[in-house]
Amino acid sequence: MIQAERSLAAFVWRYESPNNEGVPQTASTSAQSIALSKALKARGWKFVGPTTVFAFMQAIGLLNDHAEACVIRDEVRAARAAFEPPC
């Protein structure tokens, strides 16, 4: 139950990959997005398939799938390193 968590953010951040960068840029899902999608669906959420959840995870910084040569990759890496996820 999400209410058992301190917040929705804490619940979502439990699905962070240990290495949030190993995802190929061409991927549209990951093991973590599949698991989070299943967890949300089990709690009654709708329209939270693995691809939608993957895009959400990209947007909030749970994973960095920028290509190695991308000019923004290091900036994203630094921003993520400075961020303290909710507990």
Q: Is residue 3 part of a domain?
A: no
In a domain, 6, yes or no: no
State the pTM of this model: 0.80
Q: Where are the alpha helices (DSSP H) in the chain?
A: 8-13, 31-42, 50-60, 73-82
Digit-coded pLDDT (tens) for 20-76: 666 667 788 888 999 999 999 998 999 999 999 999 998 888 888 888 888 888 888
Q: Rounded distance, CA 24 to CA 44, Å? A: 30
Assess if residue 48 is contained within a domain. yes
> In the chain, how many domains are there?
1
Instruction: Write out the residue range of the structural domain in which residue 79 sits.
Output: 27-87
The token duo for 44 is 């009654």
In a domain, 7, yes or no: no
- Domain membership of residue 32 (yes or no) is yes
- Tell me whether residue 13 is in a domain: no
User: What is the number of H-type helices and E-type strands within the chain?
Assistant: 4, 0
